[in-house]
Chains A and B, each alone.
Chain A
Amino acid sequence: MTIDVRLPTVLRQHAGGQAIVQAEGSSIGEVLVDLSRQFPTMSDQLLTEKGELHKFVNVYVNDDDVRYLDKLDTKVEDGDVVSILPAVAGGDG
């Protein structure tokens, strides 16, 4: 299925400046692999050589961080929105 993926400013340069792109897959892992196929220079920004999520990447399905769901096995369905955000220093409340 086709999923909308929202990219942060820092990754848009790898996707011709687009803020939202489409990718195929039924899990987060499949969606990220498809993104890497479409935009090869984005690949090493998303996944490590071992195929794990890059340390400084947070991926969300409908605002929930997949690290606390089923990680790369987290399922996605039609209508879900996937967002990628870099891990940065947070504010301090």
Chain B
Amino acid sequence: MAEITMVSRRVATSVLDLIGNTPMVDISALSPNREVSIVIKLEGQNPGGSVKDRVALSMIESAEKEGLLLPGQTLLEPTSGNTGIGMALVARVKGYTLKVVLPDNVSPERRALLELWGAEVIDSPGSEGSNGAVKMAREMAEAHPEWAFLYQYGNLANPRAHFEGTGPEIVRDCPDITHFVAGLGTSGTLLGVGRFLKEYNPDVEVWAVEPPAGEVVDGLRNLDDGYIPPIFTELNGEELLDRKTVVGPKDSILWTRKLAELGIFAGISTGAALAGAIRCSQKIESGCIVVISPDGGWKYLSTGAWTDDIDVVTERARNTIYF
């Protein structure tokens, strides 16, 4: 029998204590530039399965501290899935009721997880993408002031979770970072981690990757219906980011598959972020890129992303929210 030194019990008292401190792994085998290493941070290891557990916990605990959320109160949130799932987990443990406004074209696994943790799902039109969910939730929040509307797109506790958690973890585990690459959704990860990294070393570059979301949002009547997350404007995201690049569904899926060849089972938005990291690797001489994997692959098995013909899956992804 192996020798074990027993000092004291090392067991979490709540599943919420397991949020954060996610592992990082070197995936330089995929780097097209031998002078550039690539390290990926696996946020799918969070108990709710995504980076959004951090945001959910941060927003709910901030609201509790500020007296904006009272015991047993109902929470309302627009989400394309992961934030809702994270909030459903935290709400279940802490005893809140949660209503999520969810575009009706997200993968069925996302909906199943939300329902499993007791959230009520309210459908918004898939053709309007996340924009439609945000619009509907804002209208509902106005009609129901008794609900707590934490609103991840406008809540500074979202980037704060990354400024205080994700960012310091990256520097602790990979102090030689030169470039940070992550997907742009609410912008919380990029703003929080990005600000922390720039304070750590102003030379670290922050690169954003986004899906061509506006291409498929056909509910948009004109550009004035566009949307920029209020936190992005408030924290001057345009100043913070060094580069922003768009990655389509085909590249996202191809790079998700490449990761699987290394034994890393990640969601499709990870493939998008990785495609951005690969472009970064091609454009710089040397360095160390840290890229965020927002979630694991479990919620996307039904999309056939790893098994079906690439063109068929790509077409399917155009009509499904995967980011």
Contacts and interface: CB of A to CB of B under 8 A. Distances in A.
Given A10-B220, A90-B184, 18 more contacts: A9-B215, A10-B214, A45-B223, A58-B214, A60-B245, A60-B246, A67-B244, A68-B242, A83-B212, A85-B215, A90-B130, A90-B183, A90-B187, A90-B229, A91-B80, A91-B81, A91-B130, A92-B82
Interface string A71-93: 00000000000010111111111
A57 interface: yes
Interface in B211-240: 211-218, 220-229, 238
Nearest to B212: A85
Interface string B311-323: 0000000000111
Contacts of B81: 91-92
Contact of A89 (B82, B134, B242): B134
19 contacts: A8-B215, A10-B214, A56-B224, A56-B226, A56-B227, A57-B226, A64-B243, A65-B245, A68-B243, A85-B215, A85-B246, A88-B130, A89-B131, A89-B134, A90-B211, A91-B80, A92-B52, A93-B82, A93-B269
A68 B186 CA distance: 18
Interface of B: 50-52, 79-83, 129-131, 133-134, 152-153, 183-187, 189, 210-218, 220-229, 238, 241-247, 267, 269, 279, 294-295, 321-323
B80 A86 contact: no
A45 B220 CA distance: 13
B121 to A, nearest CB: 15
Contacts of B241: 68
B214 A91 contact: no
Contacts of B80: 91-92
A52 interface: no
Contact of B211 (A60, A83, A91): A91
A26 to B, nearest CB: 22
Nearest to A6: B215
B223 A67 contact: no
A91 B321 CA distance: 7
B213 A54 contact: no
B223 A86 contact: yes
Counting chain B CB atoms within 10 Å of each CB, which of A9, A10, A57, A83 scores highest? A10
Counting chain A CB atoms within 10 Å of each CB, which of B81, B129, B214, B244 scores highest? B214
A51 B309 CA distance: 45
A56 B223 contact: yes
B226 A88 contact: yes
A39 B131 CA distance: 27
A71 to B, nearest CB: 10
Contacts of A83: 212, 246
Nearest to A60: B246
A55 B279 CA distance: 26
B244 A64 contact: yes
A7 B273 CA distance: 24
Interface in A42-58: 45, 54-58
Counting chain B CB atoms within 10 Å of each CB, which of A45, A56, A90 scores highest? A90
B234 to A, nearest CB: 15
A63 interface: yes
Contact of A65 (B187, B213, B218, B246): B246
A93 B323 CA distance: 5
Contact of B244 (A8, A45, A68, A89): A68
A18 to B, nearest CB: 15
Contacts of A55: 226, 228
A21 to B, nearest CB: 15
Given A9-B215, A64-B243, A64-B245, A89 B269 contact: no
A14 to B, nearest CB: 10
A86 B226 contact: yes
Contact of B185 (A58, A60, A86, A91): A91
